[in-house]
Structure 1
């Protein structure tokens, strides 16, 4: 049962209970029925003779895990790590993406503005956040930066293991918002129909030692009725990972 279905069922049950309680609290009369109850229908299994697939389903995305080279973690305290150093380390490690012919070549140039004395308005790096997402009781690092000239957003999560900085999430997409809920990271992306959006949830997977894709939702968020063309900044697929 999805979260939305569960909320709907609980709301309906609460309304029914309130109706019965209110009827029983009067000075006259007894309990009153809330109406006819729909007959329960079990799930219908389609194509019971369907042969098993010969290969696994195409994965939405794969978990990312990589040691960040060239960045130290003083005292194993991730709060002391400079986010600018972290992004620059990624740029150096992926010349095909950030080089002069790479899809995000302008990001490398703009990162120079993130240093003291630079033009802060041109710096692509967003505010960094620290929260325990891995469940080890220590803060992890969540950061984002704009990808130019595509106008996508890169979302990254890092943790510390054995005195090393480790990247445990790398996702690039057309993003309109990011939320941290407990130990989950939720990305909100625009849909191709107005009034709707995609929400992708990533959670810590102790077996892969990385943030793994958990849920993808297509939700109604407004009163839009007319379709619109996808933003030119949208990626070719539902998401794309850099590493």
Structure 2
């Protein structure tokens, strides 16, 4: 009797089970080698924001004031060549603003009378340079136009400080694009932002405000605020950090 070539006998049946197992061995061995596949563990479920009371009618809020000071041209100064604010004498700049708005004690130009008198006396014969409230300026491209802006600081009583930023337009006019007066812990430059650190009103915490250039408003605006905890034993940094 002829045996069909397709018929499986008892002798060949074990070989058919062994062959797939042998073929699988290299695959199993490769998983344990360096560079092989490894389990990353269970994937956590993503939890998106949940809108609470979605059927509640929201309050109608008018658009907020963008904050900051509108851009102000500084009169009484010679035109700046090639928009180069490095040419500008910072003391003469602040004195020009003082002359244009005499007797202003509040707002962006607010200055106590004794500070205004000290600013007016800066650079005069017989005055101690250390008593001039106008600090050494810093320079940084804050508007992204490839040219530096001038960052000025004016010391006021009670650890308060006026921080102002000036840029030059193509016509050579000086334009003030930021002015704020705060009780300042420190002023820092971070990229194209001017960062102010001030007391938050809560012991052990401070408020950090980043001022950024706004193309629409053509001025620097407070764009980000954060309340942070001051580490225990932290020392107060210098009043201004950055590169002049």
- Distance in 2, matches of 1:84 and 1:56, equals 40
Contact 1:72 1:165 in 2 (8 A): no
Residues 1-243 of structure 1 correspond to what in structure 2 (within 5 A)? 38-56=44-62, 58-59=64-65, 61-75=67-81, 76-98=83-105, 104-116=112-124, 117-148=126-157, 150-161=158-169, 162-223=171-232
Using the TM superposition, give the Cα deviation of residue 82 of structure 1 relative to its aligned residue in structure 2, in angstroms: 0.9
Secondary structure of the 2:104 match is helix
Partner Cα distance (1:163, 1:211) in 2: 20
User: Deviation at 1:59?
Assistant: 3.8
Deviation (angstroms), 1:33: 6.1
Q: Which ranges in structure 2 are unaligned for 5 or more consecutive residues?
A: 1-31, 234-244
Distance 1:83 1:179 in 2: 19
Q: Is the 8 A contact 1:73 1:81 kept in 2?
A: no
Deviation of 1:60 after TM superposition, in Å, equals 6.5
Gap change, CA 1:175 and 1:123, over 3 Å in 2? same
2:164 and 2:176 in contact (8 A); partners too: yes
Give the 3 Å change call, closer, same or farther, for CA 47–32 of structure 1 in structure 2: closer
- Give per-residue Cα distances to partners, 1:9-68, cap 9 Å, x unaligned: xxxxxxxxxxxxxxx899xxx95767x765432212123234344342544623421111
Q: CA deviation at 1:98?
A: 4.5
When the two structures are superposed, what TM-score results if normalisation uses the length of structure 2? Answer: 0.69
Distance 2:131 2:75 in 1: 26
Question: After TM superposition, which residue ranges in structure 1, 4 or more long, deviate above 4 angstroms?
Answer: 30-34
Deviations 1:138-190 (A, max 9, x none): 11100110123x53100000001121000000111111111111111111112
Which secondary structure state, in structure 2, belongs to the residue aligned with residue 44 of structure 1? coil
Q: Which runs of 5+ in 1 are unaligned?
A: 1-23, 225-243
1-structure distance, mates of 2:72, 2:111: 21
Which of the two has higher C-alpha Rg? 2
State the alpha-carbon separation in 2 of the partners of residues 62 and 98 from structure 1: 17
**Deviations for 1:206-231, whole angstroms, at most 9, x for unmatched residues?**
1111112210010112138xxxxxxx
RMSD: 2.8
